[in-house]
Chains A and B, each alone.
Chain A
């Protein structure tokens, strides 16, 4: 298999969420001397972007998004330590999680991937993340940004519960709080006292950079 063929197969396997095949191809690629960035940026990310595009067009459905995201997550588990070794300096640290009571992770995973692609270090706490778990992770990792994701109007109230927990732990002023998810609006983000909101993964990265820039210029002023 040529490298181009491998990238193509990896793209196709990610598209249909074939986790074992994705893992095999990633390992084969690495064994053949391909760089982790090549596998990530020339196959995995474009494939997941296509999954997102198909979902937006109504050609793909939620379970298909989730299983593709899961295949991607398996690949990232192998690639992350290697990407860290190549030593691209992190432009910031993000702690990310889907709120307690909510099991949806595809949107969050897409946001994570876009953040990682932009050079952020992402600490993903997964789904159903309780307020105390966010508090513990922020204490441990001292991130610049914490991201709360919710997919349901019934789980959005956890944004407020999380922010309340940060205030109680004395961490609220140390970290930029960003919120997002299908039903979330700027208005809702403002109402719960978040610092930032974005409607999609690429907008989230742009907003994060803007908020981070503003905070750092304030800190040095």
Chain B
């Protein structure tokens, strides 16, 4: 199944036969005190560096989260979308738990955006899906409901199915729904990531939709985080993960994703792998 996202001038296809879709996570004030303060004061200047670094690192989509405490998140989202679309032609992933903020971002956005996210809660589905449908966007679905964030892969897959079905009833086709199989920190419990991998395999088998997750969650609270990310993502890709919201500025992680693309047959003739190698060599040559 293919999910197509677009900016004003460029289309991007996500799918099991495509190179892995790296969604850059950096434009997000969570855990970035200085950036958070700047956003509160309406200063978006830091975003320019974040965009440049992630584009250079290999991001194909950029996540945009303006969730700074005590800031006017909707206004920031409107301004950030305009700014980022002037800086890059990559499609954007509009990230907020507040519906008005998603609405503001979608109104400002040119192209077909990815909305992050909706859950399987009836209230959230009813509020967010019409918005996604009206703007012809795609959406990330998190398999938790009013009752629980299930640990069991079987239950997660059931809630994923519910999201896909309700989206369909709002006129959003399955290819425009990306399911998040829920990445959990391995440092908290070493059985949790296995559950995520099982969920990925189940969702691929039963729904066949594209999937994305917050890859950095997996290594939270552990040393050598990039090495853990570099091991996790190829495993998840082998199970059927087609995208991740991740640190595109970490060469160790990005290279392991590109190598996995090659090994899984999604980089014909190794052209992407070799081109990335040459680009790296060229960058080291002093002109």
A158 to B217, CA, bound (A): 18
A186 to B222, CA, bound (A): 26
- Name A187's contact: one of B70, B220, B223 (CB within 8 Å): B70
Q: Is residue B272 within 8 Å, beta carbon to beta carbon, of the partner chain?
A: no
Main secondary structure of the interface of B (DSSP, over half): loop
What mask results when residues 135 to 167 of chain B are scored 1 for a CB within 8 Å of chain A, else 0?
Answer: 000000010101111110000000000000000
- Name B188's contact: one of A103, A130, A186 (CB within 8 Å): A103
Q: In the bound complex, do residue A130 and residue B148 qualify as a contact, i.e. CB atoms below 8 Å apart?
A: yes
Q: In the bound complex, do residue B149 and residue A158 qualify as a contact, i.e. CB atoms below 8 Å apart?
A: yes
A161-B187 CB under 8 A given contacts A62-B220, A154-B182, A183-B30: no
Question: Which of chain B's residues 167-225 have a Cβ closer than 8 Å to chain A?
Answer: 182, 184-185, 187-189, 192, 217, 220-223
Q: In the bound complex, do residue B222 and residue A100 qualify as a contact, i.e. CB atoms below 8 Å apart?
A: no
Q: Is residue B69 within 8 Å, beta carbon to beta carbon, of the partner chain?
A: yes
Minimum Cβ distance to chain B for residue A168 (Å): 11
Q: In the bound complex, do residue B149 and residue A103 qualify as a contact, i.e. CB atoms below 8 Å apart?
A: no
Cβ contacts under 8 Å, A153 to chain B: 30
A187-B146 CB under 8 A given contacts A61-B187, A101-B151, A103-B188: no
Q: In the bound complex, do residue B148 and residue A157 qualify as a contact, i.e. CB atoms below 8 Å apart?
A: no
- Name A157's contact: one of B30, B69, B144, B185 (CB within 8 Å): B144
Q: In the bound complex, do residue B151 and residue A61 qualify as a contact, i.e. CB atoms below 8 Å apart?
A: no
Q: In the bound complex, do residue B69 and residue A185 qualify as a contact, i.e. CB atoms below 8 Å apart?
A: yes
Q: Is residue B258 within 8 Å, beta carbon to beta carbon, of the partner chain?
A: no
- Name A186's contact: one of B69, B144, B148, B149 (CB within 8 Å): B69
A169 to B80, CA, bound (A): 43
Cβ contacts under 8 Å, B243 to chain A: none
Cβ contacts under 8 Å, A108 to chain B: none
Q: Is residue B54 within 8 Å, beta carbon to beta carbon, of the partner chain?
A: no
- Name A154's contact: one of B30, B69, B142, B223 (CB within 8 Å): B142
Q: Is residue B242 within 8 Å, beta carbon to beta carbon, of the partner chain?
A: no
Chain A CB count within 10 A is highest, among B142, B148, B220, for B148
Chain B residue with the shortest CB-CB distance to A65: B221
Q: In the bound complex, do residue B217 and residue A152 qualify as a contact, i.e. CB atoms below 8 Å apart?
A: yes
Minimum Cβ distance to chain B for residue A29 (Å): 31
A155 to B70, CA, bound (A): 22
A104 to B149, CA, bound (A): 14
Q: Is residue B119 within 8 Å, beta carbon to beta carbon, of the partner chain?
A: yes
Q: Is residue A9 within 8 Å, beta carbon to beta carbon, of the partner chain?
A: no
What mask results when residues 185 to 208 of chain A are scored 1 for a CB within 8 Å of chain B, else 0?
Answer: 111000000000000000000000
Chain A CB count within 10 A is highest, among B30, B147, B187, B188, for B188
Minimum Cβ distance to chain B for residue A130 (Å): 7
- Name B221's contact: one of A61, A130, A185 (CB within 8 Å): A61
A148 to B189, CA, bound (A): 20
Q: In the bound complex, do residue A62 and residue B182 qualify as a contact, i.e. CB atoms below 8 Å apart?
A: no
A-B contact sample (15 more), CB < 8 A, given A62-B220, A152-B185: A61-B187, A62-B185, A62-B222, A63-B188, A63-B221, A101-B144, A101-B149, A151-B188, A153-B30, A154-B142, A154-B182, A154-B217, A183-B30, A185-B69, A186-B70
Nearest first, the 8 closest Cβ-Cβ pairs linking A and B are: A62-B221, A101-B149, A62-B187, A187-B69, A185-B69, A100-B148, A103-B189, A63-B187
Which residues of A line the B interface, CB within 8 A? 61-63, 65-66, 100-104, 130-131, 151-155, 157-158, 161, 164, 183, 185-187
A-B contact pairs, 14 of them (CB 8 A): A62-B187, A62-B188, A100-B149, A101-B150, A103-B192, A131-B147, A151-B188, A152-B185, A154-B142, A155-B149, A157-B119, A157-B121, A185-B69, A186-B69
